[in-house]
């Protein structure tokens, strides 16, 4: 007889790999570290306090919801609430007051994720829901920028590269932010979005770990480049060169870390292309013709709404299936 009479019965398969949802989430958190480090460098304690405020807001809200919904409390440490907190903080202006950051965090987790049923059930990227709420509720605070400490400017207010482009006619004034500055991130903007290099470094790690689908950033970059490129070729004195649009503002953090959120992006590869091309196009339209200098957040949220529909119409071809002519 088998020594233990209690036999374990289950259906196949009996092998599983060792990856898990929390492991994936912590890989994403690690990938954010270079950009977080850059934000500490450029904005020092202001950044630190924003991260702490968002972590507090997100984790506390998550814990309350888990408790009320009678879900296992250790889901708090599945990493998803931490990602929401980090991503939200990274997209906040440096001088934002901390209570507003906490309010935004509560909204992000509560309305962005938990009301839908928690991780995996949300339609929108939670961090962006929080940010969109803040943008509408606190419009002035969310668009007041200060220079990074590394610039040692005395100015109280300071323009972001995109704001400068849209409202101060930067191209004809010759004040358009240079590409090296955009790459390093020694510029105004949200604390975690300014350093393109740090963001790309983190994203390479994600691509290497196969946590994100390369098609999504590729599609966004492609359609934004083509769209802004057409206008740039028509009138280079009025429209910025595409690479400026790729490096400025929240495009990279959005394309690499937010649009690629597994839960709120399409399942199939064809779907990923449709979704990504749509986001890039929307960003281009808003930046060039909208009332806001930046459009990444709304573009991603807008395309998030289409994900269920995209999934429905982009079912992959089944082996042996003949497509209708």
Partner 1 sequence: MKTKTFPRGIHPPEHKHGTEDKALEALPAPEKVVIPLHQHFGAPTAPLVKKGDEVLLGQKIGEAKVLFSASVHSSVSGKVKAVEDFNHPLGKPVQAVIIRNDGEDRISPELQGHDAPFSLSPDDIRQKVKEAGVVGLGGAAFPTAVKITPPKDKSIDTIILNGCECEPVLTADYRLMMEYPEDILKGAELDRIATGAKKIIVGIENNKKDAFEIFRSQNPGFAFETSLLKTKYPQGAEKNLISALLKREVPRGGLPFDVGVVVQNVGTAKAVWDAVSQGRPLIERAVTVSGTGIPDPKNLLVRVGTLFQDALDFCGGAKDGSNMMIMGGPMMGLTQWTTEVPVIKGTSGILAWAETKPARERACISCARCVTHCPMGLVPTQLMKYIKHDFLDEAEAWGALDCVECGCCQYSCPAKIPLVHWIRLGKNQIIALKRKKSA
Write out the residues near partner 1 by the rule CB under 8 A. 1-4, 6-17, 19-21, 23-24, 75, 78, 117-121, 213, 262-265, 267-268, 311, 315-322
Measured from the CB of residue 51, what is the shortest distance to partner 1 in angstroms? 24
The residue among 20 and 172 lying less far from partner 1, judged by its C-beta, is: 20
Residue 295's CB is within 10 A of a number of other CB atoms, namely 26
The answer for residues whose C-beta is within 8 angstroms of residue 110's C-beta and 6 or more apart is: 61, 65
Q: What is the rounded distance in angstroms from the CA atom of residue 258 to the CA atom of residue 248?
A: 16
Nearest to 135 by CA among 159, 161, 107, 109: 107
The residue among 159 and 259 lying less far from partner 1, judged by its C-beta, is: 259
The residue among 3 and 156 lying less far from partner 1, judged by its C-beta, is: 3
The residue among 119 and 303 lying less far from partner 1, judged by its C-beta, is: 119
Measured from the CB of residue 264, what is the shortest distance to partner 1 in angstroms? 8
Q: What is the rounded distance in angstroms from the CA atom of residue 148 to the CA atom of residue 48?
A: 14
Whether residue 76 contacts residue 62, with contact meaning beta carbons closer than 8 Å, is answered with yes
Measured from the CB of residue 324, what is the shortest distance to partner 1 in angstroms? 13
Residues written for the chain: 325
The residue among 139 and 308 lying less far from partner 1, judged by its C-beta, is: 308
Measured from the CB of residue 157, what is the shortest distance to partner 1 in angstroms? 40
Whether residue 263 contacts residue 119, with contact meaning beta carbons closer than 8 Å, is answered with yes
Nearest to 37 by CA among 247, 199, 253: 199
Measured from the CB of residue 23, what is the shortest distance to partner 1 in angstroms? 7
């Amino acid at each position: 007889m088998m020594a233990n009479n209690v036999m374990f019965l289950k259906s196949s398969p009996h092998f599983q790999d060792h990856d898990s949802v929390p492991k994936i989430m912590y890989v994403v958190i690690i990938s954010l570290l270079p950009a977080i480090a850059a934000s500490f460098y450029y904005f020092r304690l202001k950044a630190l306090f924003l991260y702490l405020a968002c972590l507090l807001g997100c984790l506390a809200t998550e814990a309350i919801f888990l408790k009320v919904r009678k879900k296992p409390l250790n889901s708090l440490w599945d990493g998803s609430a931490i990602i929401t907190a980090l991503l939200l903080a990274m997209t906040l202006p440096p001088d934002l007051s901390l209570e507003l950051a906490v309010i935004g965090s509560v909204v992000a987790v509560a309305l962005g994720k938990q009301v839908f049923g928690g991780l995996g059930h949300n339609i929108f990227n939670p961090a962006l829901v929080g940010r969109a709420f803040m943008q509408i509720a606190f419009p002035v605070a969310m668009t007041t920028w200060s220079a990074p400490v590394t610039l040692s400017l005395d100015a109280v207010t300071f323009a972001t590269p995109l704001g400068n482009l849209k409202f101060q006619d930067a191209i004809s004034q010759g004040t358009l932010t240079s590409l090296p500055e955009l790459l390093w991130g020694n510029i105004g903007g949200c604390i975690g979005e300014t350093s393109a290099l740090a963001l790309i470094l983190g994203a390479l790690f994600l691509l290497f770990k196969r946590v994100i689908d390369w098609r999504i950033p590729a599609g966004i970059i492609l359609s934004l480049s083509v769209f802004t490129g057409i206008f740039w070729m028509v009138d280079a004195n009025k429209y910025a060169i595409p690479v400026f649009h790729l490096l400025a503002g929240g495009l990279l953090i959005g394309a690499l870390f937010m649009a690629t959120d597994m839960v709120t992006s399409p399942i199939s590869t064809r779907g990923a292309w449709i979704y990504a091309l749509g986001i890039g196009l929307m960003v281009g339209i808003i930046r060039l013709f909208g009332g806001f200098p930046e459009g990444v957040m709304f573009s991603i949220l807008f395309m998030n709404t289409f994900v269920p529909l995209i999934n429905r119409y982009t079912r992959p071809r089944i082996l042996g299936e003949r497509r209708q002519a």
